[in-house]
């Protein structure tokens, strides 16, 4: 069973990856918290709870069942209002500084629960049990937590590392195919930015991966987590290297905001942004065309990316709210080969508009 250590200046924890982990959680969590009597609070969505509560609760003794807080599904619910109401529930249920929150869900639940843990009583512990592929390969690791504002994605939040991450590949069995694909697109990102081996694997094995073969998924998850653990270990608070994890996000996040978080899944918006960034690299002559073709084809192999409605100029304007910006300068992560990217600050508005239009055209041509 792969165990990947994450070591940052503020925390050391393990990401455990395997099959059949869910029914063994109670023992594992007690080991982490140091006491079987720690009060546990699970934050999850009604859909996930309905599907997985029996397996999740199986290992907890009758008198030590976690308190369950349900939060509605979807990116449009990753909002401050939800945080306030969940905090009230924690207080009503007498959560204290020794209590531990468990995020049982995708990235939305993980980001919200991590944020609750970061601010409730000025900070308590939390554990990630990611249930989407996207959360398993990316959002459950690294301690970025928070919510969206109308002006942009994740504009409020905190860095707060989990106590541990338990990834059960079996839980992906019930994940809708579009969610699986969107998660796989964030894994292609991991390959493009720093893991050419993962990229090649995803390029050649897309059939098995898309079928949901657990062995193939475990490989993808393990490689993606390894890459992320290494990056956040070097740069926990995104002062430099960690920005590479934002490949595809400058325009991707802008599209999510422009479409009010309702038309595309996060992974789909990022897939779109990765293609646009790849086209900028080609136009600049910093990425060989052959590599660009491989990147675009592999991103789209895990597609399609649904059509969305938003004015191109508005998308470009919204990149102005990106957290990577400094002194008004937009930052882009541009591929220079498969497995290597550069962080640049001089992409012009004209380049952004052109790449956005080119990407829209390409999508039309591919019927994506």
Ligand X SMILES: O=C(O)C(=O)C[C@@H](O)[C@H](O)[C@H](O)COP(=O)(O)O
Ligand Y SMILES: NC(=O)c1ccc[n+]([C@@H]2O[C@H](COP(=O)([O-])OP(=O)(O)OC[C@H]3O[C@@H](n4cnc5c(N)ncnc54)[C@H](O)[C@@H]3O)[C@@H](O)[C@H]2O)c1
CB of 282 to ligand Y, least distance (A): 26
Is residue 48 part of the contact set for ligand Y (CB under 6 A)? yes
How would you classify the pairing of strands 340-344 and 332-337? antiparallel
Subset of residues 144 to 173 that bind ligand Y, contact rule: CB under 6 A: 144, 153-154, 171
Count Cβ atoms within 10 A of the Cβ of residue 361 and give its class: 0-12 exposed, 13-18 middle, 19 or more buried: exposed
Smallest separation (angstroms) from ligand X to the CB of 248: 8
Helix 196-204 and helix 214-234, axial crossing angle in degrees, nearest 10: 160
* 122 among known catalytic residues: yes
331 in active site: no
User: Does 174 help bind ligand Y (rule: CB under 6 A)?
Assistant: yes
Residue 338 binds which entry of ligand Y, ligand X, none, CB below 5-8 Å type-dependent = none
Do the annotations mark residue 131 as ligand-binding?
yes
Secondary structure class of 66 (helix, strand, coil): coil
**Toward ligand X, which CB reaches closer, 33 or 222?**
222
Give exposure, 32-50, as e/b (b: 16+ Cβ within 10 Å).
bbeeeebbbbbbbbeebbe
Residue ranges of alpha helices (H) inside 58-167 are: 80-92, 107-119, 133-134
Cβ distance to ligand Y smaller for residue 107 or 273: 107
323 binds, among ligand X, ligand Y, none (CB under 5 to 8 A by kind): ligand X
Distance between CA atoms of residues 164 and 141, nearest Å: 9
Contact code string over 72-111 relative to ligand Y, x by CB under 6 A:
-xxx--x--------------------------xxxxx-x
- How far does Cα 163 stand from its chain's mean position? 18
Tell me whether residue 78 is annotated as binding: yes
268 torsion bin: left (phi>0), alpha (psi -120 to 50), beta (else): alpha
**Nearest approach, Cβ of 290 to ligand Y (angstroms)?**
29
**Residue 144 in contact with ligand X, rule: CB under 6 A:** yes
Q: Confirm whether 238 is a catalytic residue.
A: yes
Q: Which of 249, 287, 300, 335 binds ligand X (CB under 6 A)?
A: 249
For 12, list phi and psi in degrees, rounded to 5: -125, 125
Distance CA 68, CA 302 (A): 34
Q: Is 246 in the site for ligand X (CB under 6 A)?
A: yes
Long-range contacts of 348-354, Cβ-Cβ distance < 8 Å, separation of 24 or more:
349/316, 351/280, 351/283, 351/284, 352/251, 352/280, 352/316, 352/319, 353/312, 353/313, 353/316, 354/283
142 counts as binding ligand Y under rule CB under 6 A: yes
Using CB under 6 A as the binding rule, whether residue 245 contacts ligand X is answered as: yes
Residue 249 interacting entry, from ligand Y, ligand X, none, C-beta within 5 to 8 Å by type: ligand X
Nearer of residues 64 and 178 to ligand Y, judged by Cβ: 178
Is residue 63 within 8 Å of residue 96, measured between CB atoms? Answer: no
Q: Which of 325, 314, 311 is nearest to 150 (CA)?
A: 314
- Residues assigned a catalytic role: 122, 144, 186, 228, 238, 242, 246, 249, 253, 266
Could you list the residues that contact ligand Y (CB under 6 A)? Answer: 45, 47-48, 51, 73-75, 78, 105-109, 111, 131-132, 134-135, 138-139, 142, 144, 153-154, 171, 174-175, 179, 182, 265-267
**Interacting residues with ligand X (CB under 6 A):** 138, 142, 144, 153-154, 186, 238, 242, 245-246, 249, 323
Q: Pick out the residues of the known binding site for Zn(2+).
A: 186, 249, 266
């Amino acid at each position: 069973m792969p165990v990947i250590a994450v070591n940052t200046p503020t925390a050391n924890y393990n990401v455990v990856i395997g099959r059949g982990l869910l029914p063994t959680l109670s023992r594992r969590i007690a080991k982490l918290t140091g006491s079987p009597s720690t009060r546990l609070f699970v934050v999850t969505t009604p859909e996930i709870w309905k599907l997985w509560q029996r397996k999740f609760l199986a290992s907890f003794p009758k008198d030590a069942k976690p308190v369950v807080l349900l939060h509605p599904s979807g990116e449009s619910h990753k909002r401050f209002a939800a945080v306030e109401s969940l905090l009230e529930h924690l207080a009503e249920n007498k959560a204290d500084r020794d209590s531990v929150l468990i995020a049982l869900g995708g990235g939305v639940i993980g980001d919200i629960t991590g944020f609750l843990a970061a601010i409730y009583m000025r900070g308590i512990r939390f554990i990630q049990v990611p249930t989407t592929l996207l959360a398993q390969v990316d959002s459950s690791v690294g301690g970025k937590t928070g919510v969206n504002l109308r002006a942009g994605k994740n504009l409020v939040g905190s860095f707060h590392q989990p106590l541990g991450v338990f990834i059960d590949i079996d839980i992906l069995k019930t994940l809708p195919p579009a969610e699986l694909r969107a998660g796989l697109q964030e894994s292609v990102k991991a390959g493009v930015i720093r893991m050419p081996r993962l990229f090649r694997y995803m390029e050649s094995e897309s059939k098995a991966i898309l079928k949901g073969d657990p062995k193939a998924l475990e490989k993808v998850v393990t490689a993606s987590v390894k890459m992320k653990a290494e990056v956040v270990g070097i740069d926990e608070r995104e002062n430099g290297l960690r920005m590479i994890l934002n490949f595809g996000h400058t325009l991707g996040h802008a599209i999510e905001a422009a479409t009010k978080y309702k038309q595309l899944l996060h992974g789909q918006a990022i897939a779109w942004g990765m293609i646009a960034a790849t086209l900028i690299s080609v136009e600049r002559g910093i990425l060989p065309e052959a590599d660009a073709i491989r990147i675009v084809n592999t991103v789209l192999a895990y597609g399609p990316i649904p059509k969305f409605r938003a004015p191109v100029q508005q998308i470009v304007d919204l990149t102005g709210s990106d957290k990577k910006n400094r002194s008004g300068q937009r930052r882009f992560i541009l591929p220079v080969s498969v497995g290597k990217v550069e962080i640049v600050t001089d992409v012009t508005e004209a380049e952004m508009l052109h790449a956005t239009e080119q990407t829209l055209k390409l999508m039309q041509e591919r019927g994506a």
